[in-house]
Amino acid sequence: MKLSKALILISSLVLPIYAFDLKAQIQPNDHLKDLIFLGSTTRALLRTIPTDPSDPTNSNSPFQTPQDLGLEDLDGSEAHDRSAYVARDGSFLVKDLKRGSYTLEIISKTNTFPKYRVDVLDDAKDSPNGKAVQIRMHTPGTSLQSTLTLPKQMHPLIIYSNSRNEFFQEKQGFNVSALLSNPMMLLAGASMVLVFVLPKITASLDPETQAELKASQETMSRRMNAIQSGDVQSLIWNQEYAKKGEEREKLANQDRARRNLGPKAGGAK
């Protein structure tokens, strides 16, 4: 038993595992008047950025590479997702962050906050700028690789709200322009114009044009009635074609009558 405890102590001294405590503070601004509006469910969520050793030179890859952090042998296998609730004063603390890269996001029902990339190094001497943590603001929709070109944030981190979440839409008052731009109102106005203006226009036309207009209206009315009643034959029937057929039949009958009565009519003379 004593031997096992001694081995554990020796291994902990020989292979120390570096851990970092992330501290941050949410401050009020125009979008967050008071920290009491955050509620008790607001929390900070850190998600690990997995390492992609298959393509370390891909600049568009969302994964981290060891060269990004200034360490050739950085391994993020020790890192895992962490979360912490935000206190009433807006502060939160995430203890024992293992080496690796994370994305920091504030989960809140009332406000939205910027996102960050957090890179935890072994210690300050391994970091290019002498700091054990590098925090950069991350814009959603952009590559995590491009975030490395942005300036670093101070630690402890100070966070401000971007906007307030609006769940209710204010009721709008009476708007004349919105009422007149309604498609139903425009359609009703056009119908009223046709009812009152069209008779005056047709009254000023010559009799022949009025007769043609009346005939076309009767044809349209007959077709609409045929559509409503389902009378396909009446819909297909063409009145003008029928009149021309009757005239051709009448002329043919007159021609046949003249041929039949031609010799008798000549002898009578």
pLDDT per position as a tens digit, 235-256: 565 566 666 667 878 888 888 8
Q: Do both 121 and 248 map to the same domain?
A: no
Please say if the pLDDT value at position 22 is more than 70.
yes
In a domain, 4, yes or no: no
Q: Do both 213 and 92 map to the same domain?
A: no
Q: Do both 44 and 109 map to the same domain?
A: yes
Strand order in the sheet with 152-153: 82-85, 43-48, 100-107, 115-120, 133-138, 152-153
In a domain, 172, yes or no: no
In a domain, 52, yes or no: yes
* Chain length of the chain: 269
In a domain, 95, yes or no: yes
Number of domains in the chain: 2
Give the CATH number, domain containing residue 136. Answer: 2.60.40
Q: Which of 66-70, 74-78, 95-99 is modeled with the greatest confidence?
A: 95-99
Comparison of pLDDT for 96 and 104, the residue scoring more: 104
Comparison of pLDDT for 86 and 79, the residue scoring more: 86
H helix intervals, 81-152: 144-147
In a domain, 110, yes or no: yes
Q: Do both 221 and 160 map to the same domain?
A: no
Domain that holds residue 249: 180-260
- What is the pTM (predicted TM-score) of this model? 0.52
Please say if the pLDDT value at position 58 is more than 70.
no
Q: Do both 38 and 130 map to the same domain?
A: yes
Give the CA radius of gyration of the chain.
44
- State the chain's mean pLDDT as an integer: 75
Q: Do both 96 and 36 map to the same domain?
A: yes
Q: Do both 21 and 98 map to the same domain?
A: yes
In a domain, 6, yes or no: no
Q: Do both 30 and 152 map to the same domain?
A: yes
Cα–Cα distance for residue pair 32/110, rounded to 1 Å: 9
Lowest mean pLDDT among 42-46, 132-136, 154-158, 228-232: 228-232
Cβ atoms of 23 and 159 closer than 8 Å: no
Lowest mean pLDDT among 22-36, 101-115, 206-220, 236-250: 236-250
pLDDT for res 237: 59
**Domain end among 136, 164, 192:** 164
Q: Do both 113 and 209 map to the same domain?
A: no
pLDDT for res 123: 57
Percent of the chain at pLDDT > 90 equals 21
